[in-house]
Amino acid sequence: MKDIMIATGNLNKVKEYKEILEPLGFVIHDLSEINHTDVEETGTTFSENALLKAESVVKSCKMICIADDSGLSITALDGAPGIYSARFMGDKTNTETNAVIIEMLKDKADRSAWFTCAIALIDHEGESHLFEGIMEGSIAFEPKGSNGFGYDPIFIPKGLDKTSAELTSAEKNAISHRGKATRLLLEYLKENY
Question: Among candidates 63, 191, 87, 88, which has minimal Cα distance to 131?
Answer: 191
Q: Is 78 a catalytic residue?
A: no
Which one of the listed residues 3, 30, 68, 69 is annotated catalytic?
Answer: 69
According to the model, what pLDDT value does residue 110 have? 98
According to the model, what pLDDT value does residue 163 have? 98
Q: Please, which pLDDT band fits residue 36 given cuts at 50, 70 and 90?
A: confident
Q: What's the whole-model pTM score? A: 0.89
Give domain limits for the chain. Answer: 3-192
Name the CATH topology of 3-192: Maf protein (3.90.950)
Section 20-49 average pLDDT = 90
According to the model, what pLDDT value does residue 161 have? 97
Q: Give yes or no for residue 180 having a pLDDT over 90.
A: yes
